[in-house]
Structure 1
Amino acid sequence: MPFITNKSGKESVDIFYEDYGKGQPVILIHGWPLSSKAWEQQRWKLVEEDYRCIAYDRRGFGRSSAPWNSYDYSSLASDLNELINQLDLEDVVIVGFSMGGGEVVRYLTNYGSNKISKAALVSSIIPLVKQKDDNPNGVPEEDIQGILDALQSNRVSFLKDFHKNFYNYEDNKDKITEQNLHYDWQIASNASPRATIQAAIAWADTDFRPELENVDVPTLIVHGDADNIVPIETSGNQAAKSIANNRFEIIKNGPHGLNLTHADELNTILIDFLKS
């Protein structure tokens, strides 16, 4: 199985990735608390459209190794940087889903856009999840703390119900089955408990607003207007106002997990952006 090893931090980390197709490289960065398997409905389409599709497991998730510490966004972005360098990639498109949007922005902040041609933020946490005086539509502190407490006390039970809200399950039973929910639960519950909590702290606490000026490549922003996990008011709407060169697509009735519920619509938008 293919791995790259990132030795740049305090601990050596092995990052699992899968690499299919030929052509311009498109790197898919998954959301929390899943793995690269979440991109199943996008991978085949990218390869079919003659792109080189690379998806990797964030440290602590999937088949990547799980250090005890270093789940801050600079550490996570260093894994992306090592992947790009060790695979000798150029003209790369980086696509971040949910938490993965943070790696996109932090990579551009820390490493620049010399090797990046475009970026995409899908159901992304960018720029800020937490509610603050100047971010009134964010998620309240007590709700975030409730998530962290539940992860600490009974992680697998919390994760069992989490994805119902992820997909707005009651409204999308024609698109999401109980088997889909169980599949996600299996992936999420097998992630490192420590990584699951520390990564949640990273996406909850990091304010990317000062970094949006570093996103200097054409950027696609896709968000559902029914996202109950990352409200569009605190994410897509703000990102579209602050990223200079962006294309903002709102998917009607799209939940957070629109990469599955609205896969065809997302794929059409993504491919059109790549070819534009």
Structure 2
Amino acid sequence: MPRITTNDSVGLHYYDEGDGQPVLLVSGYGAPADDWALQWAPLRSAGYRVISLDRRWHGQSDRPSWGQRMSRHGKDIDDLITALDLRGVVAVGQSMGANTIWAYTSLFGTARLAGIATIDQSPKMINSPDWPHGFYGLTDDNLGTFFTTPEAFATGHGRPWPDPAELDTAIKAAGGRGAESLITPDTYPLLLDHSRQDWRDVVARADVPVLITAGADSQFWPAEHAAATAALNSKATFTLFEDAGHTAHVDQPDAVNERLLSFVGSIRAGG
């Protein structure tokens, strides 16, 4: 089982299969690396090295009592990229995984990246007059208590969530360990830190191609966040996935895989 040890002594599990340009997949809050199983075979078959990370407190990685902040998770990405000596990486993140990539970029730049793709994650989760594309109902006034109960995720918006049993079967059929979610009070500090960040300035300064995608029927925020985010950077484009929610990569895996392959292929062709 491949693992690295971070500079603060945490063991991180990852999957690493295929050859070619590296594509790094980073899962969202509570989700394991196996959440990307429906993307693995298409990316490998197209000639890419596919690396999927279990972030600390996620999947098969260690669960320490420290490091529950986005900056530390960004450093963990750096530790992985450095340990594997990856270059020309296309980093793909879904949900919190996307903002983990922005945290990495904020700290370490894009020297080892060839591109960045995000799946249904607003770069700013708090709604404000200049950004109405945040998490439904989240404001500066209720930030401190908003995510203290699971009910916060039941927004009443968007499409129904995938059936857990069907998703588990699909992930196992694609070679993963199955669907899993690890959302506990132990990780609420991470969720709070995630929710208070604003990555728009990092998006705006990215000097590699950027793809921002959204589920047209996201349960968490208006799909307009994708166009608004892409508008921050001339190197960015956006895509909406119809009949898809926050987990577009499992709601519509064929459409997501096609778009990711097109994006990564355009980077390879261009460089």
- TM, length-normalised to structure 2: 0.85
State whether residues 96 and 104 of structure 1, in contact with CA within 8 Å, keep that contact through their aligned partners in structure 2. Answer: yes
Deviation at 1:181, TM superposition (A): 6.1
Aligned to 1:24: 21
State whether residues 133 and 221 of structure 2, in contact with CA within 8 Å, keep that contact through their aligned partners in structure 1. Answer: no
**CA distance in structure 2 between the partners assigned to 1:266 and 1:193 by the alignment:** 31
**CA distance in structure 1 between the partners assigned to 2:99 and 2:129 by the alignment:** 22
Aligned to 1:5: 5
Aligned to 1:65: 62
**How far does the alpha carbon of each residue in 1:215-266 deviate from its partner, in whole angstroms, 9 at most, with x for none?**
1100111112211213223x31221110220121111232111111110001
Aligned to 1:41: 38
Q: Identity rate of aligned residues, in percent? A: 27
Q: How many residues align?
A: 256
Distance 1:198 1:166, change over 3 A: farther
Q: Whose helix fraction is larger, Structure 1's or Structure 2's?
A: 1
SS in 2 for 1:93: strand
What is the one-letter code of the residue matched to 1:204? Answer: S
- Match among 105, 108, 124 for residue 108 of structure 1: 105
Aligned to 1:179: 165
The gaps in structure 1 that reach 5 residues or longer are: 152-157, 171-175
SS in 1 for 2:118: strand
Aligned to 2:265: 275
The gaps in structure 2 that reach 5 residues or longer are: 172-177, 267-271
Distance 1:217 1:264, change over 3 A: same
Counting only pairs closer than 5 Å after superposition, residues 1-276 of structure 1 correspond to structure 2 as 1-7=1-7, 11-125=8-122, 127-139=123-135, 140-141=137-138, 148-151=147-150, 168-169=159-160, 176-180=162-166, 187-189=180-182, 193-195=185-187, 197-233=188-224, 235-276=225-266
Aligned to 1:154: none
**CA distance in structure 1 between the partners assigned to 2:246 and 2:118 by the alignment:** 12
SS in 1 for 2:219: coil
